[in-house]
Structure 1
Amino acid sequence: PDAPLPAPAPGAAPGPAPAPSAGLAALSLPYRLLGALALAVVLVLTGLHLSLLFLHVAPANTIGKERAKAVNAWIYPEFEQNWKLFAPNPIQQNTAVQARASGLRADGTSFMTGWYDLSARDGAALHGALLPSHTRQNVLRRAWDLYAASHDNDGTPLGNRGELSAAYLTRLATQRLERAGAGGPGAELTRIRVRARITPVPPPPWSGEKLGTRTAYRTLDWSEAHR
């Protein structure tokens, strides 16, 4: 058997104190419970989001049809996807979203800007990026597609998503113009006008298709700036 450890000499210094706990273990019980609850909420919301996103991009199915109202309410407009499982939807036209603004400068005088090509600015910001943002690439075009699908050619809303899509598009344009410094330092944007430059993608030479590639513009009316 192992020999017993010798008793410490009288007057010897005590050994080192145990290291304090780190991480969640260092918290009191109420804070640990609160942290666990917050983590559980995040996991539940993440699971809910992924489930609804899956139903949005999945082919037509019974559950998707039964829950269509809840899925659409969660997805549109911020989380809309331009793809479907097992059914690719290639883009057949290039859409560039442009905007201009009017408002008041810092000295109180009024101004009206020229057209800002917001899509070109997004493209320039992504050029050369090692990890380009998928959202930054598509958010403007998808916002325009959502607007076009929920309005007729005269700009009249079609269904419940009409006003929502118009406000979403105007808010994006307002935010982009403010970042670009439209009107100068201290300027206040009061009205926004949006247009789209739409250029069809030419078919490949081997397809035999003959489609026009003429660029068209669709210009919306002035609207109040949204933030």
Structure 2
Amino acid sequence: MSVILTFTTSGGDIPFGRALPAGDATAELDRVVPLSDGALPYVWVHATDAEYRRFEDALRSEGASDVTVVDEFDDRRLYRITWDEVPDGVTRTLSEVDGGISLLQASGDRDTWEFEARFPDQSALSTFNDRCREVGIDLDVTSLYQPDPDGTSAHGLTESQRDTLVAALDSGYYDIPRSTTTVELAETLDISDQSLSERLRRAHAALVENTLR
């Protein structure tokens, strides 16, 4: 049975973390991407105009042969990225494990990234952990579980999305007026304010998709 691992790691262990400028710039994978089909082709970036330029230049130095803006809004850009090869770090280590590992979610900034990855079985997960130790990647595991038969928790939510919604409800985030802020809730969950907003957005979309359509 497949296993879902949620973990955090240094921003230096993923090309997007290394490419993001220091400050408030953040990035988030746009969708589930099988690593064997090409490493992380789409990513949302929240930054300023000057930071976008530095990010694009840094990605090319990481081995990206093409960096294209697909969509652009006031507060974010969606990039499509073509890599000559899988960059060093967590993504390369994941891609080297046989069995069709997929990233369900990944977001972060220059300092810290949170990942949620599906492994086909426990053996693949053990191989990934071993290879991370071999190359000096330090993982901080936040959850490990086997999904329901449909691959998600109730209403299409991942475990981290469900936990975040429950924490938001319990803390009064949905009260009128609100009893807590996104900053306070993010601190409680030990994630960034941006990561919290992105996770809530994904969770709300999953609920609508699986309950109202």
**TM-score, normalising length: structure 2:** 0.26
Please tell me whether Structure 1 or Structure 2 has the larger radius of gyration of its CA atoms.
1
Higher strand proportion, which one? 2
Relative contact order higher in (CA < 8 Å, ≥ 6 apart):
2
